[in-house]
Amino acid sequence: MECKQIWFITGAFFNISSIAGFMGGFPGWGIYNATKFAVAGLTEALAAEVQSMGVSATIVYSGYFKTNFLLQGSLRTAAHPIAAYQEARDLETLHSKQIIGNQPGDPDKAAAAFIQVAEMEIKPLHLFLGSDAFGMAHGKIELLQKDLQAFESISKSTDY
């Protein structure tokens, strides 16, 4: 009689993305957005790959937290900005003058949320941390729903 060993692994991956990995509407942040979208795609695939082993994977889409993210030296802007690219300049100003120091997210509370989720039997694949990220996610979902409804016939027109 053949004996098979079955291994059960339990664990949880938390891959930190950003709300910018769920919605790309941040002018001048294209490379940042792309890397955060990549984290989301990788984590979705990872979750599917490890689920049968009792392991979960969660994409954390964080909003703005009071960390060193926007402090001097952590954020680089164009050495020779294009003045006509007003949307990017406006977002730079928003980050450097209004958002910095006013981020709504508390890093200690984020750590507590990680612990809470890690202890859950069923963990989310997508976790939006921060009221700002939560609100922006709803906005993106509304836009997606509008596009799905408005362009359903074109979307389905490619079938045989």
Give the per-residue pLDDT at 68: 75
State which CATH number among 3.30.9.10, 3.40.50.720, 3.40.1050.10, 2.120.10.30 fits the domain covering 11-153: 3.40.50.720
Give the per-residue pLDDT at 7: 54
Kind of pairing between the strands at 11-16 and 126-129: unpaired
SS3 34: helix
List Cα–Cα distances, 52 to 11, 15, 72, 137, in angstroms.
12, 19, 44, 29
Give the per-residue pLDDT at 9: 57
Give the per-residue pLDDT at 90: 80
**Is 86 exposed, middle or buried, given 0-12, 13-18 or 19+ CB atoms closer than 10 A?**
exposed
| Per-residue model confidence as pLDDT tens for the chain (160 residues) | 565 655 555 689 999 999 999 999 888 888 999 999 999 999 999 999 999 999 999 999 999 888 777 666 666 777 887 888 888 888 777 777 777 777 788 999 999 999 999 999 999 999 999 999 999 999 999 999 999 999 999 999 999 9
Whether the model clears a pTM of 0.75, i.e. scores above it, the answer is yes
Domain boundaries, given as residue ranges, for the chain: 11-153
Give the per-residue pLDDT at 101: 75
Q: What is the DSSP string of 78-136?
A: -SS--TT-HHHHHHHHIIIIIITT---B-HHHHHHHHHHHHT-SS--SEEEESHHHHHH
- Cα–Cα distance for residue pair 76/98, rounded to 1 Å: 17
Q: Is 28 left (phi over 0), alpha (psi -120 to 50) or beta?
A: left
